[in-house]
Amino acid sequence: MAQGPRLIASASMALLFGVFIKGCQPNVSIQTAQYAVNGQKLYVTHCQSCHGAKGEGLGKLYPPLTDTAYLRKNRDQLACIVKNGLHEPVKVHGQLYEEQMPGVPQLSDVEIAYILTYVTTRFGKDTDQYTQQEVRSSLVNCQ
Amino acid sequence: MKCSHYLYVPLLIGGALFSCTSKTDRKLPIIGERETKQRVVDGETVIDTLYHHIPAFAFLNQDSTMISEKNFEHQIYVANFFFTHCPSICPTMQRNLLKVYQKYKGDERISFLSHSIDFKYDSPSVLKSYATKLGVDSEQWQFVTGTKKDIYGIAEKYLVYTKEDASVPGGYDHQGYLVLLDQQRRIRGAYDGTNDEQVAQLFIDLEILLNES
């Protein structure tokens, strides 16, 4: 009889704990989180000066990276943009950006996967990891 | 009764803090070499100190208008060196200077001067487009271009390193300092425009300099 309340108490504690963990990293697998951590370091080195620490961009010069709809629609183009740059105007959050973006050709496939995982899960609302395989097959089709 | 002693502690700390913050005579250093000059006034020898300052200049701005040091008379200003398609430190530096500009927008006591070190590409129309897209729509922030000799020469006077260098990204090597000038165009501070702590210090020092002048 005395065990009843105790069971309920520990069950609700576990539930609460679970909610806390979920609250920190919503629906993101451990590997995705690892990719994002590695991606952050590379992002700071190669992307942050223009696109900002929060992916906010800079005025109408450099676009923000927070347009989830754009990221999803152009998911198969993202690896090409990081590697080769962008040399045509791009519309993000309804705003046209015309500056040319330099690529970072020295990045390896896995490094691009790290960066894109970081960008799409931290600034975009995606939860899936951007895999090395996805980068490889995207790069084959770069225009 | 013992407790009553402790009541004084916060009072004391508060008092100490107050005496620090209420001190308004804090001044910024005057940076650079200085020399002294003797002259005779009414039969007596007096010694003047000549401080390092930015000499007269003339550059073309984003509206294709020639501007000079006269545009900055009776003002303090923040100067830096950049170029529009700089892929490395410039965006961060300009993002931070933009925050300062936005805080003091419309304040006639202060202005901003960005020199392009890419004398080949950054024509006034390129600078105008850059300024507009950055979000600068007033003359309070000038973007200027000039000959290589003039721009690189004045960079030295601001104590900022600039060099044309094909081996660095973008083709130009330079330091990202935001240089703070007083009304006599003397350097009163230099802050790494890519370092958040130093940019925060610029905000503090600007107020000190504004109170001084």
- Tell me the pTM: 0.81
Indicate if the pLDDT at residue B24 is higher than 80. Answer: no
Q: Which residues of B touch A99 (CB under 8 A)?
A: 85, 133
Q: Specify if B167 maps to a domain.
A: yes
Please give the pLDDT value at position B1. Answer: 43
Please give the pLDDT value at position A23. Answer: 47
CB distance from B91 to chain A under 8 Å? Answer: yes
Residue B201, classified by CB atoms within 10 Å of its CB into exposed (0-12), middle (13-18) or buried (19+), is: middle
The whole-chain average pLDDT of chain A stands at 88
Determine, for residues B133 and A49 on separate chains, whether the beta-carbon distance falls below 8 Å.
Answer: no
Q: Specify if B45 maps to a domain.
A: no
Q: Which residues of A touch B169 (CB under 8 A)?
A: 102
Does ipTM surpass 0.95 in this model? Answer: no
Confidence of residue B87 (pLDDT cuts 50, 70, 90): confident
Mind telling me how many Å the CA of A125 is from chain B's nearest CA?
25
Q: Which of A58, A96, A97 best tests the B interface by mutation, with the highest count of B CBs <10 A? A: A58
Mind telling me how many Å the CA of A105 is from chain B's nearest CA?
13
If one compares A139 and B87, the residue with the highest pLDDT of the two is: A139
In chain A, which residue ranges form alpha helices assigned H by DSSP? 3-24, 30-46, 48-51, 68-73, 78-84, 109-118, 132-140
β-partners of residue B67 are B59
- C-alpha–C-alpha distance, residues A130 and A118, integer Å: 9
Number of Cβ pairs closer than 8 Å across A and B? 34
Q: Specify if B26 maps to a domain.
A: no
Q: Specify if B185 maps to a domain.
A: yes
- C-alpha–C-alpha distance, residues B34 and B115, integer Å: 25
Q: Which residues of A touch B92 (CB under 8 A)?
A: 48-49
Of A110-119, B17-26, B79-88, which one has max mean pLDDT? Answer: A110-119
Least confident of A64-68, B11-15, B40-44, B176-180: B11-15
Mind telling me how many Å the CA of A59 is from chain B's nearest CA?
5
Token couple for A54: 């929060």
Architecture of domain A29-140: Orthogonal Bundle (1.10)
- Which B positions 116-175 lie with beta carbon below 8 A of chain A? 130, 132-135, 169
- C-alpha–C-alpha distance, residues B206 and B203, integer Å: 5
What separation in angstroms does the CA of A143 have from each of A52, A91, A101, A140, B1? Answer: 27, 18, 15, 9, 83
- Which A positions 42-101 lie with beta carbon below 8 A of chain B? 48-50, 52, 58-62, 99-100
Confidence of residue B22 (pLDDT cuts 50, 70, 90): very low
Confidence of residue A20 (pLDDT cuts 50, 70, 90): very low
Token couple for A58: 């800079």
Confidence of residue B25 (pLDDT cuts 50, 70, 90): confident
Indicate if the pLDDT at residue B17 is higher than 60. Answer: no
Confidence of residue B2 (pLDDT cuts 50, 70, 90): very low
DSSP B53: B
Stretch A104-124: mean pLDDT, rounded?
96
- C-alpha–C-alpha distance, residues B148 and B150, integer Å: 6
What is the longest distance spanned by two Cα atoms in chain A? 72
Nearest by CB to residue A59, choosing from B90, B92, B133, is: B133
Q: Which amino acid is at A69?
A: A
Confidence of residue B8 (pLDDT cuts 50, 70, 90): low
Mind telling me how many Å the CA of B136 is from chain A's nearest CA?
9
CB distance from B96 to chain A under 8 Å? Answer: no
- C-alpha–C-alpha distance, residues A26 and A121, integer Å: 10
Sign of the CA dihedral with A106 first, then A143, A75, and B169 last: positive
Stretch B173-182: mean pLDDT, rounded?
95
If one compares B5 and B31, the residue with the highest pLDDT of the two is: B31
Question: Per the structure, how many domains does chain B have?
Answer: 1
Determine, for residues A49 and B91 on separate chains, whether the beta-carbon distance falls below 8 Å.
Answer: yes
Least confident of A115-124, A128-137, B7-16, B122-131: B7-16
Q: Do residues B82 and B90 lie in contact, with contact meaning Cβ atoms separated by under 8 Å?
A: yes
CATH, residue B80: 3.40.30.10
Domain that includes residue B148, residue range: 53-212
Determine, for residues B135 and A59 on separate chains, whether the beta-carbon distance falls below 8 Å.
Answer: yes
Neighbouring CB atoms inside 10 A of B167's CB total: 6
Please give the pLDDT value at position A5. Answer: 64
Share of chain B above pLDDT 90, in %: 78
pLDDT tens track for A29-68: 899 999 999 999 999 999 999 999 999 999 999 999 999 9
Confidence of residue A85 (pLDDT cuts 50, 70, 90): very high
